[in-house]
Structure 1
Amino acid sequence: MADPASTKPFGPKETQRILRHLQTPTVFTNMAAGWPALLWTAERLSHCLRDKVLRFRLGRKEEKNTPLFETQCSYVEARLEDFLSWTRDQTGPLHVGPFCEYPNSDYWAYADYKYIAMLFEDRPSMFEEVKWSDFGFEGRDGRASTLWVGTGGANTPCHLDSYGFNLVLQVQGR
């Protein structure tokens, strides 16, 4: 079997050179080959987080041509296990628990900007499963990263962040 590092299209130095000259959002394929974080599923994360409570943002699933800003959303405090239970209950009666007022047929939801360092403070090995050094950020791992988990339809309006680089590792979904 080929070494995952040998399948990466760019080395760390070349990736840094590319990043410094980009003017538009760009997708790098195969740059995370071999990262343990690629095995993260919502179920695995739920098991790791156990009883930790996250704040979920909810919005209505309706076709609109205007962004839904944070101040216009509803919020629920819940465990990831509660969220997963809510997402699986597609046809049953209203869910019991933190999401009970929000039928998943009518709402999308996501937990955003959850710092991995805080979520997994009792499991520091999780930090090492994210390897930003492959992008030329030596010594950077998941400790300085955030986790986002959401349903289909969850979104953030297109925007520009005015700081450094914003790298996203998408493990599931689209």
Structure 2
Amino acid sequence: MIDPLDIRTAISTANEPYILRNFHLDWEIFRLTFDDWCQRMDKHIRNEAVQFTSGTMKHCDIPYWERFRTHEHLTFSEFTKKSIGDAFNDRWYSHSYRDILSWPESLSKSISFAKLGFENTEDILFWLGSKGANTPCHYDTYGFNIVVQVFGRKSWLLFPPKTPITATRVPFEESSVYCKQNFYSPADMDQFGDIGKNQDAFEVTLSPGDILIVPANWWHYVENLETSLTVNTWIPLNVKDSLARLGECFVRMQIEQITADDSDFGNEELRKYIYNPNEMNEPDLNLMNLFKPLADVVIENTKNEDPLDSQETLSRGQEIRDKYHSTFHKVEPVSHDRFRQILLQNSVRHEHALDERKINGMRFQEVENVINAVCHPKTVDSACQLYLQQIRNEISKNGLVIK
């Protein structure tokens, strides 16, 4: 058995995706069938229906944003029957981004990442969906991702941070930077430019029991190949995350200012277009009052080198991954031909008649362009670094102490 502290080091220092295979997590859910889990869930919530997000298998030539999706209430057993009976031929259904605390206590308590070296992990989520359920391509601004496949198979496309993918902050969701490329139903291949030409496209199919490590800031597009249940958690990176939180605060300030008066559109149409649905009910905050304290945390955290960035720690992580190569499987890039083949397979989902969805959003295009200019990751980073330098100069000049 590998020492959990060694696994923690190997995972935390991985700057490329890895799959851990043949690694036994002693979770009770792995002793159940999918049908058993659904029945346990229904019994726990007294057979009440829960909200599923739904989408058509066909789509237009822009990413399948949440604003295009509908909602339907189903019990877990109803979802199972429909998915097994091929009732979802024309639609996919998803009940995802949900806290495992909604599970029966006997199941949720057994979910632990301690064997991977991470005690007391918070924000453990589960993702349930039928074939075709997908998450648009994005990267997470906080932490790195540990993904455990429980039931079914799921496809991942991953790309390093410097891949020439076109970032967009519309729709806005804190901690998620989406991209304009449509991986679900592309109408043309030109939008992908040089992506995949320089060994920067990585394809992974997760099967039950597989554990995927998604390094910080890696782009990823995720889609169910069949009815699937996944559990994941994000592991914080204190130094990097503090700067990312400052950046996300800056982005939200800009977007709230730009969308403060949508009287030209009426009925909050602009806000519904700009914000992801899960952001619409977020409480109002005085972001200016948060910005300086967040900057103080960044300055304090960056006084010393991040231990994870030390050459000694990085070398130790690689040494452990090499030693236990039968467990740590490095994900290799696919050829450009294979990448194009994936896109061409997905392109059959494009339905020109649905492109009216894009046309309906054209009247917000100028606002979106302004947001993407002001809130582009490079712009945000430059603005935050300039602000931090101003604070450091004041500290140096006045001998101030950060409280």
Counterpart in 2 of 1:12? 4
The TM-score with structure 1 as length reference comes to 0.73
Contact in 2 for aligned 1:31/1:134 (Cα 8 Å): no
Name whichever structure is richer in strand by fraction: 2
Report how far residue 55 of structure 1 moved. Answer: 1.7
Supply the distance in 1 between the matched residues of 2:20 and 2:111 (Cα, whole angstroms): 15
Decide whether aligned partners of structure 1 residues 40 and 156 sit closer, same or farther in structure 2, where only a CA change above 3 A counts.
farther
Supply the distance in 2 between the matched residues of 1:39 and 1:16 (Cα, whole angstroms): 25
2:120 matched to 1:139?
Answer: yes
Q: Which runs of 5+ in 2 are unaligned?
A: 154-403
2:131 matched to 1:152?
Answer: yes
Contact in 1 for aligned 2:25/2:115 (Cα 8 Å): no
Paired-residue identity, %: 25
Supply the distance in 2 between the matched residues of 1:68 and 1:37 (Cα, whole angstroms): 31
Computed over aligned residues only, the root mean square deviation of the Cα atoms, in angstroms, reads 2.3
Residues 61-91 of structure 1 deviation map (CA, whole Å, 9 limit, x = unaligned): 137664211111111122111211222333x
Supply the distance in 2 between the matched residues of 1:31 and 1:64 (Cα, whole angstroms): 40
The TM-score with structure 2 as length reference comes to 0.34
Matched residue count: 149
Supply the distance in 2 between the matched residues of 1:42 and 1:52 (Cα, whole angstroms): 18
Supply the distance in 1 between the matched residues of 2:8 and 2:115 (Cα, whole angstroms): 9
Matches within 5 A, 1:1-174: 6=1, 10-50=2-42, 51-62=47-58, 66-90=62-86, 104-117=88-101, 119-120=102-103, 123-140=104-121, 144-174=123-153
Q: Report the residue type matching 2:63 in the other structure.
A: P
Larger radius of gyration: 2
Contact in 1 for aligned 2:29/2:37 (Cα 8 Å): no
Greater than 2 Å deviation, 4+ residue runs: 22-26, 30-37, 39-42, 62-67
Q: Which runs of 5+ in 1 are unaligned?
A: 1-5, 91-102
Contact in 2 for aligned 1:60/1:107 (Cα 8 Å): yes
Contact in 1 for aligned 2:54/2:70 (Cα 8 Å): yes
SS of the residue corresponding to residue 139 of structure 2 reads coil
